[in-house]
Every structure is written in C-alpha cells, then in structure tokens.
Structure 1
C-alpha cells in the first residue's frame, strides 16, 4: 500500500461519529504523511509477542543511566528485525510488517512509548511521540484558526 492508501484505511477505520473522520482527514493524516515522507520504506517490521503486543525496549541515557526512554523499533527489512531483536532465536516473538502510517498513528496514541526508532539499511531515524503530537496539535489549531470563530451568546448580563 502506498501512503495515500494507508491513510485512507486509517480514515475509514476511525470511529464514525461525525467528527473523527474529518479530524483524521484534515489534521492527523497530513501530519502522518509528512512524517512518513521522511522515511525510506512504506512498511516496517515490528517485533511482537504471539499475542500481538509490540516489543517495547527501555533505553538508558549513555551518560546518565538514570534517564530512560521507551521505544519500539521498526525495521526496514525482515532480516534486520530478526537479526536485531532475536526473533529467529526466540519462538515467542514474531516480526510482522506494519504500514508506516499505521505505526506512526499507533505512536501518536500510545502513552507508554516515547519514540519509534526506524532502523534502515543506511542508519536509523527516531520519531518522538511528543513531536508527532505537537505537529498534529499545531495542524488542528491552524485549521481552527482558518475558520471564522462563532462566539456563543453570553449567559451573563
């Protein structure tokens, strides 16, 4: 699936409450597409348990081991995933391909994960949840700012 097809799928899967599909289409999808556009692949392999839980890794800061962050790795190839996460030697883990925009959307909504590190053949790219959330919030606020604001009538004299 190309990026537009991936985003269409996410929009169609959004709760059909009248506002969420519109928010997905006008604010979230464009930001996901921008972030995904900086990556090399259309899908990445994510290691997960047989129950479907993603393998979350806690990393310690190099100079201050008390500082940690939680990450999920997305690998450009199955071979990279198997090699880096021990999938080929651990029967309780599998590496499954996940569309890149779906991976970013999940990052946006997972409070327990701070970043996704996209491991590619030519290096790694880290995308932080906070940066993604901020970009989406700015897009939402920008879109709201483009529309005339209606002030409700005052309830006070």
Structure 2
C-alpha cells in the first residue's frame, strides 16, 4: 500500500469527532516525509493478544540509570527474532502494520522513546531509530505552519 493510501486509511478510520480527521490531514506531510526515509511500506511489530506492542527496555551498561524504551519494527515476518524469549511466547504475534500507522501511533505512546526500524531483511545492524520526541517536534512545527493548532486540543500532539 502506498503512502497516500495509508494516510487516507488513517483519516477514514479516525474517530469522526470533527477534530481527529483534520489533525491526521494536517500532520500527513510529516508522517509521509519520515516514511519516505524508510525502505518499507509496512513493518512487522511484535504484539500481545490484546494488540499492545511489545516494548523493549535498553539500559546503558556504563550508566544503568540511562534507559530507552523501544519498539522494534521488522521488514519481514522471517526477521522477527524467533530465538528470543519473545519469539517463543505463544501469546505474542508479529503483525504487519503500515509504516505511517506506526509513526502515527508512536506520537501517542507515552512510555515509548523510539521505534527502531530494521531496514535490510535478515540484518539487524542496518536500522533507523525514529525518536518520539523528534516526531512530536516535527508535528508541532507542521501544526503551527498550518495554523490549525487553535482547533486541535494541545494534548494530542
């Protein structure tokens, strides 16, 4: 599915509250710009049976107080690590999710610091980290440019 179709699906599936479809339309250029920097139109995300995404916490060995909470996005189902404890858990599945939908969800996922997109199938060293704070910043800039900020509740982005 191309990026335009993904964005349209986000708009169509947004709550018809008079605000959310307008918000998605306003931030679509940001989501599309980030998505164009990634190689795949969809990625596989590990999630539990309630469809909550699996969060991985990374702690810095040199400074254990520093930690990052990340979600991993894999280019193919074969790339989801089956050897990890997560891969052996029958309560977890790898679901294909359009890239713009992943980016849209990232903005609202408070405990998540970033999503790591693995770009080359079969290789875990080729990845792009997209930080939630950076996406939020770009969306904030976009909303200011579009002057729709007054119509959108400030806690949405």
Q: Sort the TM-score into its range (normalised by shorter chain).
A: 0.7 to 0.9
Q: How many equivalent residue pairs?
A: 144
Deviations 1:33-92 (A, max 9, x none): 011010000000001112222110001124312100111000011111134755553212
State TM-score, norm by structure 2.
0.84
Deviation at 1:108, TM superposition (A): 0.7
Pick which of 13-22 and 2-11 moved more.
13-22
Q: Which residue of 1 aligns with 2:72?
A: 73
Change (3 A) 1:87 1:65: closer
**Structure 1 match to 2:53:** 54
> Are the aligned partners of 1:81 and 1:87 in contact in 2 as well (CA < 8 Å)?
no
User: For structure 1, which runs of at least 5 residues remain unmatched after alignment?
Assistant: 146-157
1:139 aligns with 2:142: yes
- Unmatched segments (≥5 aa) in structure 2: 149-157
Paired residue for 1:126, among 104, 124, 129?
129
Q: Using the alignment, how far apart are the partners of 1:38 and 1:91 within structure 2?
A: 33
TM-score (norm 1): 0.84
1:87–1:95: 8 Å Cα contact kept in structure 2?
no
Measure, in 2, the Cα distance between the counterparts of 1:85 and 1:99: 24
Which structure has the greater CA radius of gyration? 1
Indicate whether 1:13 and 2:13 are aligned: yes
User: 1:29: how far off?
Assistant: 1.1
